[in-house]
Amino acid sequence: MSKTALITGITGQDGSYLAELLLGEGYRVVGMTRRTSTDVHERIQHIVDDIEFVSGDLLDQTSITTIVDNVRPDEVYNLAAQSFVPTSWSQPVLTGEFTALGVTRVLEAIRAVDPKIKFYQASSSEMFGKVVEVPQRETTSFYPRSPYGVAKVYGHWITVNYRESYDMFAVSGILFNHESERRGKEFVTRKITDGVARIKLGLERELRLGNLEAQRDWGFAGDYVRAMWLMLQQNEPDDYVIATGRTHSVREFVRIAFEAAGLGAYEPYVVQDPRFMRPAEVDLLVGDPSKAKRVLGWEPEVSFEQLVEMMVRADIDRLAPQVRA
Ligand code: NAP
Ligand code: GDD
């Protein structure tokens, strides 16, 4: 009997990779999408016929409960969120509704329909914020620095609370930044690789960025969704840090991306623009993935340098036909 997985946020970066992985494992994959007036299936176009879609919204309890009741999944992966940190300052209440209370709505739906359904919550290294310990591990205290980070702390603790209150198999994956050619262009890595590709092809002359000194523990999204799945295959529910254990600055990412495109030094092209600075910054993130390695047998397979090169190559290949046309 194949298992059924329900994924919220299936149209996002992680949703697309997770859907691929679960289909490969023989799952029936059901994706919850919200109603939009345009097509948002770009990232899953290649597997769209293999997925069942159901319409629902993290803001709407009735839709989520009805979906869980109809679909009767074995596993629910709650990836949907307002996930862009700067937007959380301009839309703090909405971010709280999606990213914090949305988690409770999904948990409540599971509790009402069948508390045996396994639940994965997409928690974030943003919860560590102004870090109190280096590297950050499962026991490190949280100090979020944005309304998004605060909302994710709520999502984390409500997941732990439902596990402890109702004996549910509910886990929180504390994932550090993970990227790919499917990353939204507003996030810094994809903004850089898209910008580098445009400069390389003569479509742009400069790249405007904010804080180049921020440091992140960047991995490849395809590696990270494997960790999500592994967490739900364990005998006991628990929380895990998923990271590479290495950190790099935005400046290093920029330097390697320009070199990968054969453009040489980045300095002539990069302009620091105060519009992209944040009211409160997360200066340094670096995770300790040793528990994930020990218990889940999980390790990242793509290195930082491979990731940057992969993303630059994908953006050049995507844009080149437009230039030739
Ligand atoms: P993403 O690309 O921004 O995707 C977010 C998804 O959430 C999209 O499918 C979006 O649907 C959906 N969504 C947003 N609001 C919704 C609502 N009200 N109802 C239903 N669906 C809604 O994010 P991602 O990078 O894949 O990240 C997945 C999850 O992991 C997020 O919760 C994020 O906060 C968390 N996370 C990400 C990282 C990372 O580095 N990527 C690290 C730690 C944690 P539309 O297509 O309709 O907009
Ligand atoms: N977006 C963006 N744009 N960030 C910039 C820019 C710019 O022009 N210039 C510098 N940065 C810096 C930001 O200030 C931040 O320190 C760093 O680059 C990374 O920013 P993002 O790529 O936007 O990601 P994030 O770290 O804020 O959040 C991502 O990772 C979290 C996990 O730690 C998102 O995916 C979150 O949803 C996720 O939880």
Catalytic-role residue among 124, 125, 146, 172:
124
Structure token digits, residue 302:
């793509």
| Cα–Cα distance for residue pair 199/216, rounded to 1 Å | 25
**Is 80 exceeded by the pLDDT of residue 325?**
no
Residue 218 has a pLDDT of 98
Catalytic-role residue among 148, 240, 266, 269:
148
Are 148 and 253 contained in the same domain?
no
Q: What rounded mean pLDDT belongs to the chain?
A: 98
Is the backbone peptide bond immediately before 135 cis, with ω within 30 degrees of 0?
Answer: yes
Residue 1 has a pLDDT of 80
The pLDDT-based confidence of 322 (bands split at 50, 70, 90) is: confident
Dist. CA 314 → ligand 1 center (Å): 22
Structural domain harbouring 264: 184-216+246-285+302-324
Overall average pLDDT of the 251-269 stretch: 98
Overall average pLDDT of the 90-108 stretch: 98
Has residue 294 been placed in a domain? no
Are 20 and 165 contained in the same domain?
yes
Overall average pLDDT of the 95-103 stretch: 98
Residue 324 has a pLDDT of 78
242 lines ligand 1 (CB under 6 A): no
**Is 90 exceeded by the pLDDT of residue 282?**
yes
Instruction: Give residue-wise pLDDT tens across range 225-239.
Output: 999 999 999 999 999
Instruction: Give residue-wise pLDDT tens across range 172-222.
Output: 999 999 999 999 999 999 999 999 999 999 999 999 999 999 999 999 999
Residue 323 has a pLDDT of 87
DSSP 181: T
| Cα–Cα distance for residue pair 162/169, rounded to 1 Å | 9
Residue 88 has a pLDDT of 98
Has residue 20 been placed in a domain? yes
Are 230 and 120 contained in the same domain?
yes
**Is 90 exceeded by the pLDDT of residue 39?**
no
Residue 289 has a pLDDT of 98
DSSP 2: -
**Is 90 exceeded by the pLDDT of residue 116?**
yes
Q: What's the structural domain count of the chain?
A: 2
Has residue 291 been placed in a domain? no
Has residue 290 been placed in a domain? no
Has residue 297 been placed in a domain? no
Report the CATH number that the domain containing residue 172 is assigned in CATH.
3.40.50.720
Ligand 2 interacting residues, C-beta cut-off 6 A = 83, 85, 124-126, 176-177, 186-189, 191, 209-211, 214, 216, 250, 276, 278, 281-282, 285
| Ligand 1 atom closest to 221 (CA) | 41
Query: Of the residues 6, 14, 32, 88, which should be mutated to test ligand 1's pocket, given the most ligand atoms within 8 Å of the CB?
Result: 14
264 lines ligand 1 (CB under 6 A): no
Are 98 and 34 contained in the same domain?
yes
The pLDDT-based confidence of 84 (bands split at 50, 70, 90) is: very high
Residues ≥6 apart with Cβ < 8 Å to 105: 58, 59, 60, 61, 64
Amino acid at 78: N
Catalytic residue status for 148: yes
Report the CATH number that the domain containing residue 264 is assigned in CATH.
3.90.25.10
Are 279 and 142 contained in the same domain?
no
Are 165 and 28 contained in the same domain?
yes
Q: Provide DSSP, 47-110.
A: GGGGEEEEE--TT-HHHHHHHHHHH--SEEEE--S---TTHHHHSHHHHIIIIIIHHHHHHHHH
Are 209 and 75 contained in the same domain?
no
Among the bound ligands, name the one nearest to the CA of residue 80: 1
Please name the residue whose Cα sits nearest to atom 28 of ligand 2. Answer: 85
**Is 90 exceeded by the pLDDT of residue 77?**
yes
Are 271 and 227 contained in the same domain?
no
Are 66 and 108 contained in the same domain?
yes
Dist. CA 108 → ligand 1 center (Å): 20
